């Protein structure tokens, strides 16, 4: 399951986890041989930690095996802080089926909102450098930070995932995908305080289908372009999604800084917006507090982005915003069959440095 580096895996009180594993021809570390009991009653926290420590001390590739069953992780466990000896620590063919992870993040959220100095907190479940991961029917609640993180993975399938956290909880992204290929996210319901799904740099061939998002900040490609040298995002499909009361619907967001990053070949299709502040938005001027980037243009090149069959209601007058980079204008945006209204009237569109075409019926009228 979760893998080292500075990652913290924290599961707090009364967490039940059903896990099954298959294959892997490298060193095996089975949590049961470290004393974990798949009975749903015995606190297996220490066993998970011990398996983790052993695997991380391995100089050859290691796999942490969690047999099928129900494991109670009765107190906070943190995997990480140590550097694994083998850089090749990875999981392969791991499935996590069912179960609920509850990280009880509310105390940390309220600390953060009171602007005291607070611990950073930890994500709940993360996979790094892993192939053929399956997460099926898993619920994750109240993470201190990101609920589920998929990074540097190849072929991951997440389906029937449920994420829930308060709409004002900070930095609690539902599913974050980064530097990965072949990730599929299906049939999932995500309500949280940050992005329902966030798509970081270096992703290709990502397929997202049948998602209900809200509350939250929508499905976001970004933030991208913080680094000058950054891998791009390509071949992303988001198909059949509903957004309810969210800050954004379909968003692409880049820092207003020099970068060689890019976003290309993206299809957003069949989305229903319900009272969404920014149903369609490209924002290339992201520069919170005007720090480290005022007056700069984003270097991220955005091209070939298709919006097709996007309907519903906007919570603000401007439902479609293409605020592209002054140094790298967006190219090849296409709009086809869009109808977004604001208070029962056509909403508005706003463009800068954005090029493309529209076809079919498009309301508000395209400003491309
Ligand atoms: C993106 O999709 C195209 C068309 O399906 C394919 O030819 C290309 O190899 C894909 N790119 C990557 C990086 O997989
Ligand atoms: C857009 O949607 C509104 C609300 O459903 C509807 O009244 C209007 O006729 C639609 N406009 C177009 C051009 O389809």
The per-residue pLDDT for range 41-89, each reduced to its tens digit, is 677 778 877 876 776 676 666 666 666 665 655 444 444 433 455 545 5
Helices then strands, each counted (H, E), the chain: 2, 28
For residue 266, what are its two tokens?
């993206």
CATH number, domain containing residue 262:
2.160.20.10
Query: Is 312 a member of any domain?
Result: yes
Query: Is 168 a member of any domain?
Result: no
Query: Is 138 a member of any domain?
Result: no
Total-model pTM: 0.83
User: What's residue 158's pLDDT?
Assistant: 95
> CB neighbours of 66 closer than 8 A, spacing ≥ 6?
1, 17, 19, 20, 21, 30, 31, 36, 94
Query: Is 274 a member of any domain?
Result: yes
Query: Is 95 a member of any domain?
Result: no
Query: Is 320 a member of any domain?
Result: yes
Q: Whose CA is nearest to atom 1 of ligand 2?
A: 339
Whole-number Å distance between alpha carbons of 73 and 13: 7
DSSP 218-233: -EEEEEE-SSSS---E
User: What's residue 2's pLDDT?
Assistant: 35
User: What's residue 76's pLDDT?
Assistant: 42
Query: Is 31 a member of any domain?
Result: no
User: What's residue 253's pLDDT?
Assistant: 98
Q: Whose CA is nearest to atom 7 of ligand 2?
A: 344
Active-site pick, 136, 194, 195, 283: 194
User: What's residue 270's pLDDT?
Assistant: 98
User: Which of 234, 304, 306 best tests ligand 1's pocket when mutated (most atoms within 8 Å of CB)?
Assistant: 234
User: What's residue 95's pLDDT?
Assistant: 53
User: What's residue 128's pLDDT?
Assistant: 76
Domain that holds residue 312: 195-368
Domain count for the chain, please give it.
Answer: 1
3-state secondary structure of 122: coil
User: What's residue 208's pLDDT?
Assistant: 98
Residues with pLDDT less than 50, the chain? 1-25, 74-83, 87, 93
Work out the widest C-alpha separation in the chain, in whole angstroms: 64
Query: Is 76 a member of any domain?
Result: no
Residue 41: how many other CB atoms lie within 10 Å: 11
């Amino acid at each position: 399951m979760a893998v080292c580096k500075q990652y913290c895996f924290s599961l707090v009180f009364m967490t039940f986890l059903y896990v099954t594993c298959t294959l892997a021809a490298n060193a095996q570390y089975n949590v049961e041989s470290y004393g974990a009991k798949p009975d749903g009653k015995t606190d297996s926290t220490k066993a998970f930690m011990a398996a983790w420590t052993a695997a991380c001390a391995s100089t050859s590739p290691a796999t942490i095996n969690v047999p099928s069953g129900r494991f109670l992780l009765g107190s906070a466990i943190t995997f990480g802080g140590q550097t694994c000896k083998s850089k090749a620590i990875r999981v392969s063919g791991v499935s996590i089926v069912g179960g609920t992870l509850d990280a009880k993040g509310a105390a940390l959220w309220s600390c953060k909102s009171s602007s005291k100095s607070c611990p950073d907190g930890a994500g709940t479940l993360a996979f790094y450098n892993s192939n053929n991961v399956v997460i099926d029917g898993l619920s994750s609640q109240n993470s201190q930070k990101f609920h589920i993180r998929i990074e540097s993975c190849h072929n991951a399938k997440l389906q029937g995932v449920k994420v829930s956290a308060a709409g004002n909880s900070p930095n609690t992204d539902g599913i974050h995908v980064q530097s990965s290929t072949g990730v599929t996210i299906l049939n999932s319901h995500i309500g949280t305080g940050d992005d329902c799904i966030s798509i970081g740099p270096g992703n290709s061939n990502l397929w997202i289908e049948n998602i209900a998002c809200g509350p939250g900040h929508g499905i976001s490609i970004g933030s991208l372009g913080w680094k000058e040298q950054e891998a791009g995002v390509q071949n992303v499909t988001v198909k059949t999604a509903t957004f309810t009361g969210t800050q954004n619907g379909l968003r692409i967001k880049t820092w207003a800084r020099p970068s060689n990053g890019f976003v290309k070949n993206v299809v957003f299709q069949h989305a229903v917006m319900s009272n969404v502040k920014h149903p369609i938005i490209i924002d290339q001027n992201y520069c919170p507090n005007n720090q480290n980037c005022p007056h700069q243009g984003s270097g991220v090149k955005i091209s070939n982005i298709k919006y097709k069959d996007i309907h519903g209601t906007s919570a603000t007058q401007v439902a479609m915003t293409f605020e592209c980079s002054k140094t790298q204008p967006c190219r090849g945006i296409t709009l086809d069959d869009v109808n977004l209204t604001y208070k029962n009237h056509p909403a508005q569109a706003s463009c800068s440095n954005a090029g493309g075409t529209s076809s079919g019926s498009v309301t508000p009228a395209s400003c491309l």
